[in-house]
Structure 1
Amino acid sequence: MKVGFIGLGHMGAAMAGNLLQAGHDMTVYNRTPGKDEDLRHKGAHAASQASDACQDKVVFTMLADDHAVESVVYGDGGILANLPKGAVHISASTISVALSERLTADHAEAGQQFIAAPVFGRPNVASAGQLFVIAAGAPDAIEIALPLFDAIGQKTFVVSETPKAANLVKLSGNFLIASVFESLGEALALVGKGGIDKHQYLDILTSTLFGAPVYKTYGALVADETFEPAGFAAPLGYKDIRLVLSVAEDLRVPLPLASLLRDRFLTLFAHGGDKLDWSAIGGLAAKDAGTGSSKAGASK
């Protein structure tokens, strides 16, 4: 299949690479020049502007936030003005529910289709083609996209025919992940100050009560206070918590923990942690207890 891919950060480049390896004819574009070099060497076509990557049946976007998505969708050189009628825009970005609603309506008005397909998984998981895809959109559009999802992920969950549902699932999932950072960080600070080895404690947790990948993957980062290099930068995590709070306000659902997490991110940033991994909020508890290093309080 001929596929355009816009957004070649750590996640996007890995996803595009797996699509290319699966035999799809790829045209790739990134707003920052030079990030397409590796993919070009592997056979991808390089687009000089976003419009060149949306001339065929499908275009993916994997971008940082609402503003970045809007910048490549709207305007004369954007996806909306250049994607053929009947073609599909697949947004793998973690964006607001409100923008997802807007994109659904605007693509429909232009005779195009829109799928929201955010993913769970860090860059190493993306490189291995083992992401979990959360997809929502019209059934005929989903049918077109499924072979592409198979190339980037280990499982696809189709949650609704309404795209915004996938974005809500993704945002709520990221809220839960951030909640793990905070609760695990507090528990590790407690047992660590009580003289218990944090790594043994983490082994007990992940071997008994909490065997989920989020505890195993991120638990080691929090226990070791290894927050650089960032697999998912803290400002992006903060963005997601703000988006969760926004949709919760619209739905009139109180989320006290999300409000706490917003403040924890602000604490991290106030101490210079902007360049750290988002799991660095899990290191704040040890710092508050007087036992943590400076890693969760300031970037190097």
Structure 2
Amino acid sequence: MERIEHRACFDGWQDVYRHESASLNCSMNFSVFLPALASRKKLPVLYWLSGLTCTEQNFTTKAGAQQYASRHGVIIVAPDTSPRGQQVADDMGYDLGKGAGFYVNATQKPWAAHYRMYDYVVTELPELIESEFPASEARSISGHSMGGHGAIVVALRNPGRYRSVSAFSPIVAPAQVPWGKKAFEAYLGPDRTAWRQYDACDLVRSAAEKLPLLVDQGAADEFLETQLKPHLLKASCEAVGHPLTLRLYPGFDHSYYFITTFIGNHIAFHAKALHG
């Protein structure tokens, strides 16, 4: 593991590391914010999953989350959104291939050789963080758009592993929208039964743990009706009594202006669960 960035930020350090990933069979970057309190004791970790076209840098440089993480004594870890490197399969579009890992374990060629972001997020990265940094085993997870999809799916599929989960503008029903259909067809193949393990609306119906879901959505989001469809998650949760807080904000779109406005609320929400 190599530290490639080290910057003072609020009362802590914003770093970026590169390491060789066994899950993804390539070099990967992740960012980690360490509050000053981490020099004295182990702290809980909030994992952030970013959306299409992003790297570990987008949330790190745009969201302004460090001030709240410092205030609440929470480490923030943000991985890249896909495997990287010349040997990694790619597509000419923005919504498949590099920058669009969709947090699944691909089973189809040529993607299966590297695209195992689910394993990376759930197992490999936390093991690395908890062994190399002053991190406790208290974890929460959040994300935006494709990353919001990833956060909810990971939390639903791993009962007891996360203290809390939230999302901004998540793709809640990828099996029913263009972004998800394109990715799942490529990564998982045409058999739609294989898609269900990565679809929040399907997973919530049989979730073993009723971990409350917090979802914030901009009402002026240009992808609201075509790609995101939060009403489908609401219907699935209501059908089985799964706790969901779905907040719709007039005027806000899909951008980081939305995230930076409300990220403090999300970190406070996670901090309460992580320190409780």
Larger helix fraction of residues: 1
Larger strand fraction of residues: 2
Tell me the TM-score normalised to structure 1 length. Answer: 0.27
